[in-house]
A = this chain, B = another copy of it.
Amino acid sequence: MAEAAAEIDQALEVLIPPPDGPEAKLFEAMRYATIGGGKRLRGFMVLEGARQFGVARDAALRTAAAIEMLHAYSLVHDDLPCMDDDELRRGKPTVHKAFDEATAVLAGDALQANAFYVLSEADTHADPGVRAELCRGLARAAGPRGMCGGQMLDMLAEEAGEPLEEAEIGRLQLLKTGKLIEFAAEAGAILGKAPPQLRHAFAAYGRDVGAAFQIADDLLDATASAEETGKRTGKDAAAGKATLVGLLGIPRAQAQAERLAAQAAGHLDALGERADLLRALARYAIARRS
């Protein structure tokens, strides 16, 4: 994963060039938000998925970088004072703290646009059908029936102050983080023009890893320190936020994350040993300490 993260960082360096001209501040903020941070879980999934189908490394890296841009934009906006109001992200000040609020809004907006720009460019794939499909998949994962819808549910739940039921929490998290992870897992199969049943297998893998990852995130929030995770912890309980950990308790939530990780790995049975790294990723998602 560290190797993949370094390669993705190199791709981001090229795709968000160092600033020149009077609008330098915008490019600086975009680079600050994306380069040199994060686990690159989503990007790693793209690269490993694409490897199963012999996709050219450059195409896979551009796609991975685009999805990481989209993810980074969502973090920048989620951290805004009017949203979760966070000051620490990936071990450094959030974008609106390091720059200012207007720049954070704009950098997020520009990262979203740039993600689509990268996916739609001919350099990413010679087949325009693949490029259109990538744009469609990213747009669906990012829009009101994906990430934005999930963040809305999250804000509303916090406002209402009433505990959500297990199914509601599941839906919230599927939208907020699951859809993009699902797309990251599927993107390699799209790039490789895989048959529908394999595409669906990768999507199902992504969905389960995403759900397991989210529970693990909530477990870390409940049990780890800010030094370990690089972001403020204990904030879910403090905010009365609806999580499966809060609802089920730590041991049952842990068991469910393990069940989901095993189920994720099972979706890739047809691929044999080639998919071992993706199976390992499902285990890592729940074993990590940051």
Which listed residue (B83, B120, B127, B147) contacts A102, Cβ 8 A? B83
Most buried by B among A25, A108, A144: A144
- Closest Cβ of chain B: how far from A120's Cβ, in Å? 4
Q: Are A113 and B26 in contact (CB under 8 A)?
A: no
- Closest Cβ of chain B: how far from A130's Cβ, in Å? 8
CA distance A184 to B26 in the complex (A): 25
Q: Are A117 and B136 in contact (CB under 8 A)?
A: yes
A211-228: CB near B (< 8 Å → 1, else 0) gives 000000000000000000
Nearest CB to that of A115 among chain B residues? B139
Query: How many A residues touch B, CB cutoff 8 Å?
Result: 53
Q: Are B103 and A77 in contact (CB under 8 A)?
A: no
In the assembled complex, A155 has its CB within 8 A of some CB on chain B: yes
Which listed residue (B16, B26, B128, B144) contacts A114, Cβ 8 A? B144
CA distance A140 to B16 in the complex (A): 13
Within 8 A of B (CB), among A5-63: 16, 22-23, 25-27, 30
Q: Which residues of chain B come closer than 8 Å to A147, judged between CB atoms?
A: 113
Within 8 A of B (CB), among A227-245: none
In the assembled complex, A131 has its CB within 8 A of some CB on chain B: yes
CA distance A243 to B149 in the complex (A): 38
Q: Are B149 and A23 in contact (CB under 8 A)?
A: yes
Most buried by B among A16, A108, A117, A121: A117
CA distance A6 to B105 in the complex (A): 31
A121-156: CB near B (< 8 Å → 1, else 0) gives 100000111011101101110111011110111011
CA distance A228 to B39 in the complex (A): 52
CA distance A121 to B238 in the complex (A): 42
Q: Are A135 and B152 in contact (CB under 8 A)?
A: no
CA distance A230 to B154 in the complex (A): 34
CA distance A74 to B103 in the complex (A): 14
Q: Are A144 and B23 in contact (CB under 8 A)?
A: yes
In the assembled complex, A106 has its CB within 8 A of some CB on chain B: yes
Q: A83-B105, A138-B116 are in contact. Are A25 and B132 (CB under 8 A)?
A: no
In the assembled complex, A88 has its CB within 8 A of some CB on chain B: no
Q: Which residues of chain B come closer than 8 Å to A138, judged between CB atoms?
A: 116
- Closest Cβ of chain B: how far from A253's Cβ, in Å? 23
Which listed residue (B106, B114, B132) contacts A152, Cβ 8 A? B106
Which 4 pairs from chain A and chain B are nearest by CB? A117-B139, A113-B143, A82-B101, A110-B148
